[in-house]
Structure 1
């Protein structure tokens, strides 16, 4: 029998030409060990069985880090993946990075802290000029309030912010409370809010938000339903502060919804690639996502309204393939650099 035009061993024997065929058996690649320190909630959402099975098939082993033991006594690790808060843990990671430069730590504690504060997380976006990438990206006008609630109406008037305003907790600490949103329609109701918080001018965006997942150089965009537009008529008639459940969650997926093209069309790819590249560099992070909206009735005016470190990747389509390829790439790049020196 011929396979792909080749002569089979049986035919060779019939011709009296018996050839010795040497079979090369591939040696198993070295296991890539990823130590992880995650909250129980993050571990459950991220380390799903489908990820662990694929990782094992690709030669990646996830190993839990015991936070009650010295980190240097554990491993050895190729990569350390972490999302724990607290000054003590930050010091542990910084010390480990200094003693083990051969290990890739995802991500530096100081860089993570930068995006856990809503006052600082958008600074790097505000400084960007992406006008040559098929769109414009900016951030909504905002202010931080950390004083007595009764001073908020005066501070808002003084700053010249326009209603309605989105109120968000100042610190993003991974709790459900840190993702709560309030929409304030009038100045009097602002005193009902609880500082410290960020007040952000609400931008009408057709009720759709683009969640841009970043995993190293990989970019994945999904649509999520968001807060609906607020009309001038509604603003004139409605008063008070309204609490909204967490928007943009996976249950609010708008990917299969019948959306107007002007609302649902994804941001231009060149814009996303440049934005992701710039923020990776400026923030010093590999794992984050960007919440972006398109200003209603525009095609290319976008606003970044939030940045989240190590988001819910388990909700991202094909996350297990993207993440395992990313981990393998990290280790390979490190090996290539060592070989070049």
Structure 2
């Protein structure tokens, strides 16, 4: 379940992508020399990320600020036993594969003093679009600042010929957004008519498209910190357009960080950010329920309403490099984590 229909491109774990190992940034000897003499005065953060993620996240400005604050980033070599590396105060990771999950779980059991961001089983929960938004739906958040829900949706695991009947039985309204069941791709499709549903390729999730003024809110969460930005999204679909259009329209990626809507001349009713108290309560509840500290939410406001919001996607360890002031927010988060230990 999720919101590629409305969302920006985020970093996605590619299973075949090359993994950065220690030697690409510093030799093992250099790492030991850097860590050992000053271990008591620095926060050592071991990271296991794909090459693409390393490049987007560990930007020079972040590393420079981290050094000034006493934080040292050290690459983890996934081909070597994790217990032989470090010592680490924090392990930051976003790699796929069951073998890596087992390695990390074993490490968490044998090194309880190390903070692992985040637990592998909790991360898997948001990779599957069937379970991704369950916590938001169960929360059914409603207060004086607004109501937060999820779009109605349907999981299709096989047999595309049966999709039209399944949609009828579920009572879903067209157009429908189709997304891969496993959130490893940001490709999505928008199906305008019943007949075209047979052209879709399961396993997938079908989600009702909700008009939202062509703008979504990316809510970045780093521990207790929250940062919200606007992004352009798919435009609204009128009843007239729905009656005239047919077929399935594919969108590899709807928008990107360059398509920010923060500076655009937008209708105030569309541009107004969700109320801060509502976001703080939502983030607090989801951190507790999901067991995650690094994620973002894609939210929309139903067009024509003031306070009706939908969470349409959740991403673990998203592209923080696109978040304004991420260097300061992330380094403060790491320091606070280390102090709390």
Give the TM-score of the pair, scaled to structure 1. 0.88
Shift of 1:127: 1.3
Tell me which of 108, 129, 133 is aligned to 2:119: 108
Alignment of 1:223 onto 2:230: yes
Aligned partner of 1:320 in structure 2 is 327
Q: Give the Cα separation in 2 of the matches to 1:28 and 1:90.
A: 27
Tell me which of 67, 77, 81 is aligned to 2:78: 67
Tell me which of 130, 134, 154 is aligned to 1:123: 134
Tell me which of 301, 308, 315 is aligned to 2:315: 308
Shift of 1:152: 1.1
Q: Which moved more, 1:315-324 or 1:246-255?
A: 246-255
Tell me which of 58, 61, 74 is aligned to 1:47: 58
Q: Give the Cα separation in 2 of the matches to 1:66 and 1:307.
A: 28
Shift of 1:245: 3.4
Q: 1:69 to 1:29 in 2, by over 3 A?
A: closer
Alignment of 1:198-217 (within 5 A): 198-217=205-224
Aligned partner of 1:92 in structure 2 is 103
Q: If you compute each CA radius of gyration, which structure gives the higher value, 1 or 2?
A: 1
Q: Give the Cα separation in 2 of the matches to 1:123 and 1:318.
A: 30
Structure 1: which 4+ aligned runs deviate by more than 6 Å? none
Could you give the per-residue CA deviations for residues 122-177 of structure 1, whole angstroms, max 9, x where no partner exists?
0000111432240000000001001111111111111111100000111013xxxx
Alignment check: 8 A CA contact 1:224 1:252 kept = yes
Which structure ranks higher in relative contact order (CA pairs < 8 Å, sequence separation ≥ 6)? 2
Alignment of 1:182 onto 2:193: no
Q: Give the Cα separation in 1 of the matches to 2:202 and 2:196.
A: 14
Q: 1:147 to 1:45 in 2, by over 3 A?
A: same
Alignment check: 8 A CA contact 2:176 2:207 kept = yes
Aligned partner of 2:161 in structure 1 is 150
Q: Give the Cα separation in 1 of the matches to 2:274 and 2:49.
A: 32
Alignment of 1:331 onto 2:341: no
| Unaligned stretches of 5+ residues in structure 2 | 1-37
Q: 1:29 to 1:94 in 2, by over 3 A?
A: closer
Could you give the per-residue CA deviations for residues 64-97 of structure 1, whole angstroms, max 9, x where no partner exists?
0000000000000000000001100000000000
Give the CA RMSD over aligned residues.
1.2
Q: Give the Cα separation in 1 of the matches to 2:141 and 2:83.
A: 42
Alignment check: 8 A CA contact 1:209 1:291 kept = yes
Shift of 1:46: 0.3
Could you give the per-residue CA deviations for residues 6-28 of structure 1, whole angstroms, max 9, x where no partner exists?
xxxxxxxxxxxxxxxxxxxxx99
Aligned residues between the structures? 304
Alignment of 1:163 onto 2:174: yes
Aligned partner of 2:46 in structure 1 is 35
Give the TM-score of the pair, scaled to structure 2. 0.88
Alignment check: 8 A CA contact 1:212 1:219 kept = yes
Could you give the per-residue CA deviations for residues 178-221 of structure 1, whole angstroms, max 9, x where no partner exists?
11111000011111111111000000000000000000000000
| Unaligned stretches of 5+ residues in structure 1 | 1-26, 335-341
Alignment of 1:83 onto 2:83: no
